[in-house]
Structure 1
């Protein structure tokens, strides 16, 4: 199973990114644990200074933008 973490404090862009992640997972038909990380201290531990950001299996893949489902699919293992 893939672990996907949406890093952001809850702004509109962060919510949009989470929706796009869920759409990407559904399109791929893979099992994924989609988590929302809103704690700023946890976000900083990832080395992220600009949100929203996306981490896949603990590795930051996208920072500072709302990625489209297609962009998310491109960084997911499949």
Structure 2
């Protein structure tokens, strides 16, 4: 599973990255969690507001930090 956290390093971006890593650990998943900070790469996903969350190539969230329960649900949908 490929998970990308899109963001330039703002507080919300860091919060989303932390939450995603916690959820992956709690779910005992084999997942590659990558932080994407380059504006050009973020825009390629069509994300104009950060933070963004991309799971297996699909943009799941843009412009907000979802709850851990929401992150778990999004990951489960892609398994």
Q: TM-score, normalised by structure 2?
A: 0.93
What pairs up with 1:17-28 in 2 under 5 angstroms? Answer: 17-28=16-27
Superposed, 1:1-78 pairs within 5 Å as 2-76=1-75, 77-78=78-79
Please, which runs of 5 or more residues in structure 2 have no aligned partner?
Answer: none
Alignment length, in residue pairs?
77
Please, which runs of 5 or more residues in structure 1 have no aligned partner?
A: none
Q: CA RMSD in A?
A: 0.8
Tell me the TM-score normalized by structure 1: 0.94
